[in-house]
Amino acid sequence: MTRPIFGPALAFALVLGLAACGGSQAGEGAEAAKAHMAKNARKDGVVTLPSGVQYEIVRSGPAEGLKPGPHDEVKVHYEGRLVDGEVFDSSYERGVPAAMPLQALIPAWIEVLQLMRPGDEWLITVPPEMGYGERGQGPIPPDSVLIFRIELIDVLPAPGRVQQG
């Protein structure tokens, strides 16, 4: 059974808790995370952003679609898993996409979703400092690399934002 990590209460907790997720890494978990990220970066089709977040494009939507802005809400289908394959959350399993304010998400999602357009499906690999860091969160252990399959379904623009691609 998977546990949702993006419920309304958790979204609020994430906003408060993200500042506490520092970028320093220490210990065995951090070393394993660095090794996994380095290995994944060598795979064909993987793009590594300056933040260390990596993505692979599975499917591209229409080029004229609206990319989310930092204050928008996004409607997504997603699955999150650990490096060992354990699924810790999945909107696919629940059968309902999730709508969430971009600002309430982990830093990796905030960065990557602003590069995507509706119809895009990407696999993202998240280094600990761009996810839940040294603290972990619920079923996610400290210093975990996270792997997400994200399908951007729609962008719900913030009030006053002009809708154009």
- Choosing from 5, 55, 78, 147, the catalytic residue is 78
* Residues constituting the chain: 165
- Choosing from 132, 140, 147, 150, the catalytic residue is 132
Q: Does residue 44 have an active-site annotation? A: no
Q: Does residue 78 have an active-site annotation? A: yes
- Choosing from 89, 120, 124, 143, the catalytic residue is 89
Q: Does residue 148 have an active-site annotation? A: yes
Q: Does residue 106 have an active-site annotation? A: yes
Q: Does residue 89 have an active-site annotation? A: yes
- Choosing from 6, 55, 72, 88, the catalytic residue is 88
* Positions marked catalytic: 78, 88-89, 106, 132, 148
